[in-house]
Structure 1
Amino acid sequence: MTTASPDFPDTIYAIQHLAFEDLGVMEDIFYQLGFRVRYFEAGVDDLSKAFQHKGLTIILGGPIGVYETDDYPFLQQEIDLLKVRLEENLPTLGICLGAQLIAHALGAKVYAGHQKEIGWSKLSISNTPNNLLAPLSDTPVLHWHGDTFNLPEQAELLASSDIYPNQAFSVGKNILALQFHLEVAAESMEKWLIGHTCELRKAEINIPALRADNEKYAMLLETGATEILRNYMKQVMRK
């Protein structure tokens, strides 16, 4: 159950850009902490309520790019609402595309990377005081992206990978951006493999090997995710 401020909203708002990229194992962790979850579908729902939420709002991943506003006009509204939210320093967690949106809203460049980063590998955790990602110092995580971003000027780098230096950052205590996927659940990976088959084929990813790595590492990642989310929620709920 929750252990901090009783006036902190007890519903987590999650913005989805793709149906099968949901909160995954994070949803159960939030339930264990005493929270409820409500989803909003980007491009379909009015996202104003989600971005004006005084509690935690999570922006999930998806296959589109931050810079594709001409093809996906809803992205511009999402960016505009996010800018206001970040200016108000409201609790915000971004994953993959969500992290890229946060970086862009903070004035950093988001762009196509030099190669796809898809698969399980360890992070290099920054040696910063009270790094929320310390529980992942020896745990492989799932990477699944082609875009990357520069580190916003006001941000603190939390993690890097061998391929891309900016894998996670925070701004103060409330804003957390993760390029990698903390939320992946072992039992739902098949949905990703089916839904992203075109991307996987084009990137020449070994699908059976990716499935096997998921079975090997996903439960370890869930342990780390639990500790990270518990610590993050304690942090954002303090008055």
Structure 2
Amino acid sequence: MNELSPANRILLIFNSATGQPGRLGTVLRKYGYEFDIRRPGEGDTLPEDLTGYHLVVVFGGPMSANDDDLGNVRAIMDFLPRVVASDALYLGICLGAQLMARHLGAEVQAHPDGLTEIGYYPVQATEAGRDLFPDEMMVYHWHSEGFGLPEGAELIATGATFPHQAYHIDERIWGIQFHPEVDDETHERWLSNSAAKTDRPNGQGPDLQRAGRAKYDAAFGEWFERFAARVLARDRAPVDFGCCD
């Protein structure tokens, strides 16, 4: 595998007009990274050259990874070969993980019984993931489809409803089915915009989700801080921004 780029820029690709970096942005800003935000569904182009990027993050969205008629899905699927051929790290979150899995030859499909994960559900570390995940952790989900495991990928977290919850390839390409970026503001925005969708099979309603957030989010956030330091920032030291009077 090639040496990873020491660049300070992170490419953030959103699949909606309103998506924000949330907790991911808050954490990675501590390491001095600069963000380049692109929204291909709103007409933004994606870079031809990734030499100047340390990390590419593709976030989730309400569409399916199989929706080739949508401009953002087509644009990202056309872009992913450049990511794989580059030296940049990749993190796919929910749809972003599914799109990469699909690009690498795996299927993305609904649960055979029509179940979803919308709210807080447990994931468990696999044997290969014990250095990155606790034995069990409650994480935030919002999805109705899951990804198969691409060839060459190592499964590092699993779950009861969707068994493929997190994978990596050569510790450079990472995919997670859940949403560590969701902070308080993002959560309330999602509930405000899409509360009606929470009544899908196995979904959790807004009140249950808020209760789950109060109970589980602090530990989930602490986990993401550790994951980001080790996997995304590669043990880079946080930047001392000083303070102002």
TM-score by length of 1: 0.87
Q: Which deviates further from its counterpart, 10-19 or 39-48?
A: 39-48
Return the letter of the residue paired with 2:146.
Answer: T
The whole-number CA distance in structure 2 between the counterparts of 1:24 and 1:193 is: 15
Deviations 1:132-165 (A, max 9, x none): x32x434310111001111001100011111011
Q: How far apart in 1 are the matches of 2:92 and 2:8?
A: 19
Residues matched between the structures, number = 230
Which residue identity lines up with residue 165 of structure 1 in the other structure?
P
Q: Pick from 8, 11, 21 the counterpart of residue 10 of structure 1.
A: 8
Paired amino acid for 1:30: L
Q: How far off is 1:82 after superposition?
A: 0.6
Q: Tell me which residue corresponds to 1:118.
A: 118
- Maintained 8 Å contact 1:141/1:182: yes
Q: 1:97-125: CA deviations, max 9, x gaps?
A: 00001101111111122311112122111
Residue type of the partner of 1:228? F
Whole-angstrom CA distance in 1 between matches of 2:234 and 2:29: 18
**1:15–1:129 Cα change, 3 Å:** closer
- Contact 1:22–1:60 under 8 Å retained in 2: no
4+ long deviations beyond 4 Å:
none
1:94 to 92, 112, 115: 92
- Give the corresponding residue for 1:155: 153
Aligned 8 A contact 1:184 1:218 in 2: no
CA deviation vs aligned residue, 1:177-229 (integer Å, no higher than 9, x gap): 00111212134311010122231244563221111111221122111100000
Deviation at 1:56, TM superposition (A): 0.5
Superposition deviation, residue 236 in structure 1: 9.2
CA distance in 2, matches of 1:127, 1:30: 28
Q: Report 1:205-216 matches (<5 A).
A: 205-216=204-215
SS for the counterpart of 2:27 is helix
Asked if the contact 1:159–1:167 (Cα under 8 Å) also holds between the matched residues in 2, the reply is yes
Unaligned residue ranges in structure 1 (runs of 5+): none
Q: Conserved in 1, the CA contact under 8 Å of 2:158 and 2:164?
A: yes
What residue identity is the alignment partner of 1:15? Answer: I
- Quote the sequence identity (%): 27
Q: Is the 8 A contact 1:89 1:175 kept in 2?
A: no
Give 1:144-183 correspondences, 5 Å limit: 144-183=142-181
- Alignment of structure 1 residues 37-56 onto 2, 5 Å: 37-49=35-47, 52=50, 54-56=53-55
User: Are 1:186 and 1:215, in contact at CA under 8 Å, matched by a contact in 2?
Assistant: no
